[in-house]
Amino acid sequence: MIMRTVYVNGDYVPENDAKISVFDRGFLMADGVYEVTSVLDGKLIDFAGHAKRLERSLSELNMQQPACLPDLLDIHRELVRLNGVEEGMVYLQITRGAPDDRDFVFPDPETTEPTVVLFTQNKPGLADSPAAKKGIKVISIEDQRWARRDIKTVQLLFPSMGKMMAKAAGADDAWMVEDGAVTEGTSNNAYIIKNNTIITRHLGSEILHGITRAAVLRFAREAQMKVEERSFTIAEAQEADEAFITSASTFVMPVVEIDGATIGAGAPGPVATRLREIYLDESRKAAV
Ligand code: PDD
């Protein structure tokens, strides 16, 4: 495997030389936030949306804004260039930094700088994905995450376990359910389509406010499609005409099976397919 150049606290270094303290609060306490921005044609998709959500995540956790915050676009672009990424992702993580010792009390921001790490993931064929032509299968699981899912923290143990439960069940992903209603996928927002209406959970602290979600709903409304932002159950989803997920790494991805029940014709439906095309076209045009 080719060694990547990664960014750590102001420096561009080979991935093997990158160093983070064992006292880093991201490592010890999952005290960190992250963003994943996709890259198409060597350009960043919806960078402004990801930067805005990052600032919100930091502020919700009373985390200091790192000095490099205004330079994040340049850092993303430089990493994409250095690693020759045409299609893939840029991962960014900011933690509350590394104090001198482990302590539940937040360190003094005057003496402890946030840790900033970025790396690229090269994924040729991300847009022309075979999974998007076939659709994916999901299972439902109880949502056992903490209650502030609107903050994009690095506490991903339960979503990771959910992905493993899906794998063990022969599926691709899990939709999480709380009080009988679907919240979201392990790393994506969840949607169903009934009688040409796109239905997806309303925003709140129960789900991450997806950047792809915001763009897809905007494009759908511009195309005169009907959108309802409300809760839905697994039973309602199983009766839907179509279903899909959205995220920076999957764009719009059709779902063809939920807990063993076939959705629609068991193949990607016309609305999800169209939304994927619109999303990819419009995002490529606006990429930076
Ligand atoms: N995940 N919901 C959750 C729980 C997520 O982790 C994500 C993103 C989304 C979709 O958000 P966006 O459209 O802004 O990517 C929704 C990223 C891709 C990840 O963890 O890899």
Strand, coil or helix: what is 202?
Answer: coil
Burial 2-23 (b: 16+ CB within 10 A, else e): eebbbbbbeeeeeeeebeeeeb
**CA-CA distance, 135 to 262, in Å (whole number)?**
11
Q: What number does the ligand 1 atom closest to the CA of 50 have?
A: 14
**CA-CA distance, 143 to 162, in Å (whole number)?**
9
Residues contacting residue 78 through CB under 8 Å, at least 6 positions apart: 7, 12
- For the question of residue 134 being annotated catalytic, the response is no
Q: How many CA atoms lie within 13 A of 5 on its CB side?
A: 15
**CA-CA distance, 8 to 97, in Å (whole number)?**
12
pLDDT(203) > 80: yes
**Residues paired with residue 262 on neighbouring β-strands, in sequence order:** 257
Q: Tens of pLDDT along 94-106? A: 999 999 999 999 9
Nearest of 107, 113, 142 to residue 20 by alpha carbon: 113
* Residue of 52, 133, 152, 167 marked active site: 152
Q: How many CA atoms lie within 13 A of 114 on its CB side?
A: 22
pLDDT(1) > 90: no
Span 12-16, mean pLDDT? 98
Cα 148 to middle of ligand 1, angstroms: 14
* Atom 1 (ligand 1) nearest CA: 187
Are the beta carbons of 41 and 284 closer than 8 angstroms? yes
* Atom 19 (ligand 1) nearest CA: 187
* Atom 8 (ligand 1) nearest CA: 187
Identify the pLDDT of residue 199. Answer: 98
- The set of protein residues with a Cβ atom below 6 angstroms from ligand 1 is 36, 184, 187-189, 208, 210-213, 246-249
Q: What number does the ligand 1 atom closest to the CA of 49 have?
A: 14
Query: How many Cβ atoms are within 10 Å of 159's Cβ, its own excluded?
Result: 21
Cα 110 to middle of ligand 1, angstroms: 32
Q: How confident is the model at residue 29 (pLDDT cuts 50, 70, 90)?
A: very high
Domains of the chain listed by start with CATH number: 5-122 (3.30.470.10), 130-286 (3.20.10.10)
Cα 111 to middle of ligand 1, angstroms: 32
Cα 100 to middle of ligand 1, angstroms: 32
pLDDT(127) > 80: yes
**CA-CA distance, 229 to 227, in Å (whole number)?**
7
Q: What number does the ligand 1 atom closest to the CA of 212 have?
A: 13
Q: Tens of pLDDT along 249-279? A: 999 999 999 999 999 999 999 999 999 999 9
pTM across the whole model: 0.98
Identify the pLDDT of residue 49. Answer: 98
Are the beta carbons of 258 and 266 closer than 8 angstroms? no
Identify the pLDDT of residue 5. Answer: 98
